Amino acid sequence: MVRNLHKWVRRHARNGKQNDEAKPAPSRDIPLAADLQRNTEILQSLYANCSDVIFRPFRIADTIDAMIIYIEGLTNIEELGSCVLTPLMNGSGAVLQDARRWVSGSISVSKVSEANTIGDCIESVSRGEPVLLHEGDNRGLVLGLGKWEKRPVDEPTAEVVVRGPREGFTESIGVNISQLRRIIKSPALKVEAMKIGDYTRTKVAISYVEGIADQTLVDEVKSRLSRIKIDGILESGYIEEMIEDYSFSPFPQILSTERPDVTCANLLEGRVAILVEGTPFTLVAPTTFFSLMQSAEDYYQRFLIATAIRWLRYLFLGISLLLPSLYVAILTFHQEMVPTALLLSMAAAREAVPFPALVEVLLMEVTFEALREAGVRLPKQIGAAVSIVGALVVGQAAVQAGLVSAPMVIVVAITGISSFMIPRYVTGIAIRMLRFPIIFLAGSLGLLGVMIGIIAIVVHMCTLRSFGVPFLSPLAPTKGNELKDVAVRAPLWMMDRRPHLTGEDNSSRQAPNQKPDPSNGGES
C-alpha cells in the first residue's frame, strides 16, 4: 500500500490539473510502519509545497532517530521545545529498552494520544497538534499543543438583549462546548463529535440532555449528519441546508443562535444542538414558527411586560407582511373603504405621480431593501448612516421629484420599521420575501388577492415539519397546555411541562405548586 501511495503522489504531481486526480489520496488508512524514513517520506510527499509544515528531525537521547511534524502558527512552539524536545534530547540512553514507554513518561504534556495511520497523523497535524514519530515504533504520539488565535468571548451582535447574559459563542467549538457545560452542570449533557468534509474535516458536535431529549430525535440528527458527503463545511449554514426537511421553503426549519443561554434553554426542552467548528452560530432542532418569534429576553423580563412585547411583535409582523399590499389594494380597487377626507388628501398627494400604486410601492420597497442591505454590508462606521440617511434623502427627493407620493413613503417606512421587530434575522428575511408576491396579488386582485396570499402562506406553513414536529405547533395541531407560551408568556411557575416534541420521556421540568403564596410572606 505504501508503494501505491508513492505512485499516487508522483502521478498527482505530474497531472495535478486533471479533475480525476484532484481528490484526496485514497490511502489515508495506511498504517504507520516501524521504519521512520518510510513514514517521513510519505508525509513529506503529501505535504509537498507546504512551507508552513515543519519536519523537525532529532535524536532521542542521542540514540534513536525521531521526527516531529507540526504546522507553524497552529502549534505552541515554546512548549514544544521545553516540554518535548529538551527532555527527549537530553535523556539517558540506558533506559531505551522500552522506547515508547520511556518517551511517553519523559514529555510533560497533559494530553497525549496515539496515531496509528497516515490519516491520523494528517488530522492531528491539521488541527495544530504535533505528531512525534521515532524509529522502531509503528505508532506515533499526538501531542496536545495546539495553539492558534481565537476571538474572545464577546456580546452577541445579532441577538442583543437589555437584560440577560452578555456572552456569545465564538468560532472555537471547544470554547462553545465549555460555555454549555458551565450552564448545564450535569453529566446528562452529552456531546458527541464527528468530522464532516473531505478536505476541511470540520468538527461537528451534537449536544443533547440525556433523559430529556427523545432518543429517536437524537438518532435522526445523527443519521442526517452522517449522510452529508461534501468537500468542506465552512459555516453552519452548509449543514442547515443539508438536513432541513423543506429546502425550498422561505421559512427556516432550524433555529440558529449565537447565545449559549438560548441553546441551553432549548436543550432543557428536549431539543438537540449542533455546534460547528469555525462559526459562532449553533443550530437547534426541531423548531417551530413561534420559537422563531420568541426572544431570550422574554424569559428574563416580568411576564406581563414579555406578553405585551409579544403582542406588539405579532402586530408588527402582520404590518410588515401586509401593509404595502393593503395600501395598493385599497387605493386601486377599494377606494370606498377610505374616509372621504383621507381619500381627498391621498388623491391630492398622488396628483403629480405618473405611476400606478403598484409600480409606486414596488419602486420604494426595492429601493428601501437595497439601502438596508447596503447598510449591512458596509463598514459599521458608515453602514448605519447610509441605510438611515440614504432612505430619508432618497424618499424626500422622490417625493419632491413627483415619482412617489408622501403617503407611500410613510407606508414603506412603517413597513421597514416593523420588520425590525422580528427577533430572528432569517425569519425577518422570509417575511420580506413574501411581501412582494402579496403586493402583486393585491395589485391584480385587490383584497381578494391579499386573502389568497395569506391562505397560501398559512397552508404552506401547516405542511412544514422540523424533524417531524409541525411547524405551527402548538397552535396547529392545538395543544392547550403549551399555548401559555405562544401569544402570551405565562409566569414561570405555571409552565411546569416541557413542550411535546417527539417523545414523552421527561415531560415535567419543575415541581408542581410553585406559585408564591402572599398570605405566607411570599413563600411557596
3-state SS, one letter per residue, for 384-424? HHHHHHHHHHHHHHHHHHCCCCHHHHHHHHHHHHHHCCCCC
Contact 87, 108 (CB under 8 A): yes
Instruction: Report the C-alpha gap between 200 and 122 in whole angstroms.
Output: 12
Contact 86, 108 (CB under 8 A): no
Residue 148 or 43, more confident: 43
pLDDT of 505: 63
396 has pLDDT over 70:
yes
Name the DSSP letter for residue 497.
B
Q: Where are the domains of the chain?
A: 2-143, 173-287, 303-470
pLDDT band at residue 109, thresholds of 50, 70 and 90? confident
Degrees to nearest 5, angle at CA 297 with 295 and 298: 70
User: Residue 238: helix, strand or coil by DSSP?
Assistant: helix
Instruction: Report the C-alpha gap between 203 and 197 in whole angstroms.
Output: 9
pLDDT band at residue 152, thresholds of 50, 70 and 90? confident
Contact 481, 367 (CB under 8 A): no
Task: Dig out the grid coordinates for 308 from the structure.
Answer: 405585551
Q: Which residues in 269-345 belong to E strands, given as ranges?
A: 272-276, 282-285
pLDDT tens-digit series, residues 415-466 = 888 888 888 888 989 999 999 999 999 999 999 999 999 999 999 999 999 9
178 has pLDDT over 90:
yes
What's the whole-number mean pLDDT along residues 495-515? 73
Q: For the beta carbon of residue 509, count every other beta carbon within 10 angstroms.
A: 14
pLDDT of 315: 93
Exposed, middle or buried: residue 254 (CB in 10 Å: 0-12, 13-18, 19+)?
buried
Residue 494 or 218, more confident: 218
pLDDT of 388: 64
Contact 173, 276 (CB under 8 A): yes
372 has pLDDT over 90:
no
Residue 115 or 100, more confident: 115
15 has pLDDT over 60:
no
Task: Dig out the grid coordinates for 457 from the structure.
Answer: 402562506
179 has pLDDT over 90:
yes
Task: Dig out the grid coordinates for 35 from the structure.
Answer: 521504519
What's the whole-number mean pLDDT along residues 127-141? 89
Contact 120, 384 (CB under 8 A): no
- Mean pLDDT, the chain, rounded, equals 85
pLDDT tens-digit series, residues 260-309 = 999 999 999 889 999 999 999 999 999 999 999 998 888 998 889 999 99
Residue labelled with grid coordinates 442591505: 373
pLDDT of 465: 92
* Contacts with 68 (C-beta within 8 Å, 6 or more apart), sequence order: 54, 55, 56, 58, 80, 84, 85, 130, 131, 132, 133
Q: Which of 22-36, 144-158, 274-288 has the highest mean pLDDT?
A: 274-288
Residue 446 or 370, more confident: 446
pLDDT of 20: 42
19 has pLDDT over 50:
no
pLDDT tens-digit series, residues 465-481 = 999 899 998 888 888 77
Strands 131-134 and 282-285: unpaired
Residue 175 or 9, more confident: 175
Least confident piece of the model among 24-33, 178-187, 215-224, 300-309: 24-33
Instruction: Report the C-alpha gap between 261 and 485 in whole angstroms.
Output: 18
512 has pLDDT over 80:
no
Percent of the chain having pLDDT more than 70?
89
pLDDT of 325: 94
pLDDT of 379: 73
11 has pLDDT over 80:
no
Residue 323 or 150, more confident: 323
User: Residue 448: helix, strand or coil by DSSP?
Assistant: helix
User: Residue 56: helix, strand or coil by DSSP?
Assistant: strand
The helix (H) or strand (E) run that includes residue 195 is: strand 189-196
Instruction: Report the C-alpha gap between 368 and 364 in whole angstroms.
Output: 6
